[in-house]
Amino acid sequence: TTGKKSVVLPSETKKELAKQAKVTKEERRAQIDERHKYLISRLADGIGLSEQQVEEAIISDDKFQLIEQFFAPTGLKKLLFFYQDVLQQRSNASLKSDGSMNSLLQKKLFITMGSTEDFTGACAFFLRTSDKVITASNVSQEVNFGIFDCTNGNILQGLEFFLSQIMIPALKSQQNWGAVKEGLKNSQIQDFLYSVDKFVDNLSSSSQNIEDKIQLTKVDIDIYLSNLQSPSDYITAG
């Protein structure tokens, strides 16, 4: 058969899988420490969920191990979360006439590598500033948090807002530029900020151009050309 069929698991198998999932979640919950709580707190504030909801989403995620890889010395440089509508299968769903299961769109917070799922909602990200091991005492200094909203997949507008309303004001108020003692007075720093401003302008222009685009429809011209015999036929086709 060429149709896609849903696999209906026996009730005993479902119970065993649910039992294993519960054990895994409780083991992960026991691993939660101050580092995880810091991430959970930032996510809850940024996305608008309760800390309990965020914790439940994290310990239920099949990519939970990426958090430990992020905390490890010389570990992952970034940790990404998407919060967006995903197709969820109803737990009490019944088979439809075509053999498929009832499903619906629901908001979900999940860990992602950022390269396999389509991005249509909000992206929350944590970035490391060094290769140090992330501990409970240094997590707030070594890890930066950010979020940008790309609801309905509008990435250009989301990125433009993030840069113009958050990053550029933060950069322009930055007092310490490391080895650059003059800070904002330095010509290279000024050139850098000018480039960022121009990039945001380009994002705005690109977004506007996309909104103003004209979508051309493909037309099948064979029906107009197949019966051309006389000059009047050509005029009518024109």
Question: Are 122 and 160 contained in the same domain?
Answer: no
Question: Are 187 and 116 contained in the same domain?
Answer: no
Domain assignment present for 7:
no
Domain range for 34 is: 13-89+102-151
Question: Are 63 and 136 contained in the same domain?
Answer: yes
CA distance 43 to 191: 34
Would you state the pLDDT for residue 89? 67
Question: Are 44 and 162 contained in the same domain?
Answer: no
Angle between helices 187-211 and 155-162 (to 10 degrees): 150
Mean pLDDT of the chain: 86
Question: Are 37 and 117 contained in the same domain?
Answer: yes
- Tell me which range, 44-58, 88-102, 103-117, 210-224, is most confidently predicted by mean pLDDT: 44-58
Give me the number of domains the chain comprises: 2
Count of other CB atoms within 10 angstroms of residue 131: 11
Would you state the pLDDT for residue 1? 40
The share of the chain scoring above pLDDT 70, in percent, equals: 90
3-state SS string over 198-237? HHHHHHHHHHHHHHCCCCCCCCCCHHHHCCCCCHHHHHHH
Mean pLDDT of 34-47: 96
pTM more than 0.75: no
Is it the case that residue 152 has pLDDT exceeding 80? no
Of 15-19, 108-112, 128-132, the poorest mean pLDDT is in 15-19
**What pLDDT, in 10s, does the model give residues 75-96?**
999 999 999 998 876 655 444 5
Q: Which tokens sit at 175?
A: 């007092």
Question: Are 50 and 124 contained in the same domain?
Answer: yes
Question: Are 143 and 193 contained in the same domain?
Answer: no
34 against 105, higher pLDDT = 34
Counting every residue, how long is the chain?
Answer: 238
Residue 8's pLDDT band (cuts 50, 70, 90): low
Mean pLDDT of 131-135: 95
Would you state the pLDDT for residue 181? 84
Question: Are 146 and 219 contained in the same domain?
Answer: no
